[in-house]
Amino acid sequence: MTSTSTSSPQEPYALTATELLTAYESGELSPVEAAVSVLDRIDAIDGKLNAFCLVDRDEALARARASEERRGRGEPLGLLDGVPTSIKDLLYTKGRPTLRGSLSISADRAWDEDAPCVARMREQGAVFVGKTTTPEFGWKGVTDNPLTGVTRNPWDPSTTSGGSSGGSAAAVAAGMAPLSVGTDGGGSVRIPAAFCGIFGMKPTYGRIPLYPASPFGTLAHAGPMTRTVEDAALLMDVVTGFDSRDWSALEAPRGSYRAAVAEALAQGSLSGLRIAYAPTLAGAPVDPQVAERVAAVARLLAELGADVEEADPGFDDPVEAYHTLWFSGAAKVVENLRPDQFAQLDAGLQGVCREGAAKSALDYLGAVDTRMALGVQMGRFHETYDLLLTPAVPIPAFAAGVEVPPGGEHKRWTGWTPFTYPFNLTQQPAASVPCGVTDAGLPVGAQLVAARHGDELVLRASAVLHAALRETGAVDIVPVG
């Protein structure tokens, strides 16, 4: 791959979080220098990409100076002390509004609480540079909204960054802070990660606690978005663990994800893993170049020692059940809006809210039945296979500002995301690993899926795979744009 970046990878904004921490510890770089570099990068290019809905330079520099002082005393606050970080604007952030891309939310209220993952990052010394864009209430797989407009892809600003965590993906890919936390209710971390050429993971449901509870219920996950798997493991070590505000939160993992990834990279082998390679699911069409890049991943996994077999889980497309659950959640989001506020919503969101409001309790419970049956089917599948490999998204990024590719047959974003939302229904961990680019220079992502609670396995395999892809030159982590 040829990077389109014209900047040296030694610029602080181009460093990964892991590299920044190493530079802080050696004294080669200070948190203030890193923050200034990232903030200047935002000033220079975000006018073209529109990844941020809020940037707070003063707060970021104040937190960076505090980090620098702590490090000068040899007393770093935690694992992320001094690392520039962004937060998707669906996650509450103390002292700053969370407007969720909507004209219906007023900034004039008390914003006095952090979401659990934001609180953990704050406790560990992260330098918050701003909040990233989302489609209104995170409802679709691309990122544009009535409040802040269209977010664009750093690899080609005429194309979409994906969604709903498209602002986070664009920010990470373009060097506007190496870490971000997104949310994923149907692919919203993995879709933009694939489109923007970064790593994005949806952990097992409950692994990263959420508060307030999502109106989309137990479809909604939070997940790390980074340029490397090592950085994702670092972030997972910070944001996972129990929080009393989330009734479904899982206990903290017993070990360190960073240590597990470091061990996997030291071994450099996937020997003993049984991996099912599904070129498609439920007969969904796949762009030939996407299919070719993911097939190459299957071959590489075998070269790395895994036992790779072409195998299909065999389920039918659960899109109707997903729509019932997702559209009902959307209707719940807006149920108390006045008619004039409803009229200001994204037109597509208005449509799905009307559909969701028409669903009955029996419709909803029927969708839950479908979901549970799919979970049983995938549970049995993973008795044979440790991991499932699929494309993350079957197409490359398309024109920015529209929900579906122009001129196609799809009516909703779920039509072109058949590989992501099934695993929100089953709550399994799944990640998009950048695996190359199309002839037009647009990134492709390969999805790795494990059984529930297999988060460490996804990270270990993703790390070894990503390292091998980088050695072959198939991917480049230098930020673009």
107 occurs within a structural domain: yes
Cβ partners under 8 Å of residue 244, min gap 6: none
369 occurs within a structural domain: yes
For residues 289 and 438, the answer to whether their CB atoms sit within 8 Å is yes
158 is catalytic: no
pLDDT at 3: 37
Positions of the chain with pLDDT lower than 50, given as ranges: 1-8, 480
Of residues 67, 86, 104, 188, which has the active-site annotation? 188
pLDDT at 188: 98
4 occurs within a structural domain: no
pLDDT at 477: 67
For residues 89 and 54, the answer to whether their CB atoms sit within 8 Å is yes
Measured in residues, the chain has a length of 481
Of residues 161, 164, 168, 432, which has the active-site annotation? 164
User: Domain of 161: which CATH number?
Assistant: 3.90.1300.10
pLDDT for 262-314, tens place per residue?
999 999 999 999 999 999 999 999 999 999 999 999 999 999 999 999 999 99
Q: Can you state the angle between helices 288-303 and 455-472, rounded to 10 degrees?
A: 100
For residues 139 and 346, the answer to whether their CB atoms sit within 8 Å is yes
Q: Which of 281, 284, 274 is nearest to 314 (CA)?
A: 281
Q: Using a CB cutoff of 8 Å and minimum separation of 24, what contacts does 343-348 make?
A: 344/103, 344/104, 344/146, 345/102, 345/103, 345/104, 345/136, 345/146, 346/135, 346/136, 346/139, 346/140, 346/144, 346/145, 346/146, 348/139, 348/140, 348/403, 348/412
Helix (H, G, I), strand (E, B) or coil at 101: coil
Residue 33: left if φ>0, alpha if ψ -120 to 50, beta else—which one? alpha
478 occurs within a structural domain: no
pLDDT for 136-173, tens place per residue?
999 999 999 999 999 999 999 999 999 999 999 999 99
481 occurs within a structural domain: no
Residue 113: left if φ>0, alpha if ψ -120 to 50, beta else—which one? beta
- Residue-wise burial string across 415-434, b where 16 or more C-beta atoms lie within 10 A, e elsewhere: bbbbbbbbbbbbbbbbbbbb
164 is catalytic: yes
pLDDT at 478: 57
Q: What range does the domain containing 333 cover?
A: 12-472
Beta strands 307-310 and 274-277: pairing type?
A: parallel
479 occurs within a structural domain: no
Domains held by the chain: number:
1
Of residues 37, 88, 102, 462, which has the active-site annotation? 88
6 occurs within a structural domain: no
219 occurs within a structural domain: yes
pLDDT at 225: 98
For residues 243 and 209, the answer to whether their CB atoms sit within 8 Å is yes
pLDDT at 479: 58
188 is catalytic: yes
